[in-house]
Amino acid sequence: MTGQVALDRTDGVATITLARPERRNALGLGFTAAMLAALDEIEADPAVGAIVLTGAGPVFCGGGDLREIMSTEATDPEAELRLVQGYNRVIARLHYSPLPVIAAVNGPGIGGGACLGMACDIALAGPRARYDFLFGRIGLSGADMGATQLLTRIVGAQRAAYLILGERSLDAEQGVAWGVFAERFAEADLLPAARDMAVGIAGRSRRATAISKLSLRRGQEMTLEAALGYEAYLQSFAFRSDEHKARLAAHLSRKGG
């Protein structure tokens, strides 16, 4: 991987670390290519069953690198659009990856950094975890990189408006209360907890886990009636798999038939 991200694969878990601590792990020009390459490599590896996303140093992700991707001078609007669309592709890949993604939010996630955390399936918070929605302070929309969907679905429309329009921050304690973080951990326990959860998930059926995640993601976008039909179709597919038959036989054997 490039200097933007670091990738480790151990015990069926791929850990992606945002690796620019000297720049607060800010999203630079090379971020999209580095992240998409990491995800391509991970998803092509049949030994990987889950992903952990975290940041190096005291910050989870400082959002867009203001000095690298922005300018006080005239800029090329097409280049800016391509840049933002690239960041959006990363959000979509994390959100819809067939592998569950656990964010170990070790510090502040600012702007797009918050969206990276919210695009994951589960976010665990360290004591310094915080999401900041502050882009309005430099004349940019705070509804960026999927925030309109991701944040609203988690906390509801009114609280999303409170955070984005009010340019507010959400700390670890309030984030757990509002459902943005699933649980809060001591600093030393955060990454081990995320990895333990990921190892547990990776030890299960990759196919069944992918179906469960796909059903959860699509179910958010459907009516109940449509979700029931979608779930039934995918479950019937799982019923016919050889892996299900083998796991069922082993389970029944342990239970004595």
Segment-wise mean pLDDT, segments of 10 residues, the chain, 257 residues: 86 98 94 97 97 98 80 76 92 97 98 96 98 77 85 96 94 98 98 98 93 92 90 87 87 79
Question: What is the spatial distance between Cα 32 and Cα 93, in angstroms, rounded to a whole number?
Answer: 11
Please report which helix (H) or strand (E) contains residue 55, including its range. strand 50-55
Please tell me the predicted confidence (pLDDT) of residue 76: 75
In the numeric block, the tokens 């999303």 are attached to 160
Kindly report the backbone phi and psi dihedral angles of residue 208, in degrees, each rounded to the nearest multiple of 5, phi listed first: -65, -40
Please tell me the predicted confidence (pLDDT) of residue 95: 97
Count of C-beta atoms within a 10 Å radius of residue 6: 16
**Nearest 5 degrees, angle CA 206-CA 208-CA 211?**
110
Identify the bridge partners of residue 9 per DSSP, sorted by sequence position. Answer: 14
What the block records as the tokens of 177 is 């209360």
Q: Find the helix packing angle between 112-119 and 147-155, rounded to 10°.
A: 60
Please report which helix (H) or strand (E) contains residue 33, including its range. helix 31-43
Spell out where 70-201 has E strands. 101-105, 108-110, 122-125, 130-132, 169-171, 183-184
Please tell me the predicted confidence (pLDDT) of residue 138: 65
The model's pTM is 0.92
DSSP state of 146: T
Please tell me the predicted confidence (pLDDT) of residue 70: 65
Question: What is the spatial distance between Cα 249 and Cα 257, in angstroms, rounded to a whole number?
Answer: 9
Topology adopted by domain 5-202: 2-enoyl-CoA Hydratase; Chain A, domain 1 (3.90.226)
What the block records as the tokens of 175 is 């984030």
Q: Which of 135, 132, 129 is nearest to 58 (CA)?
A: 129
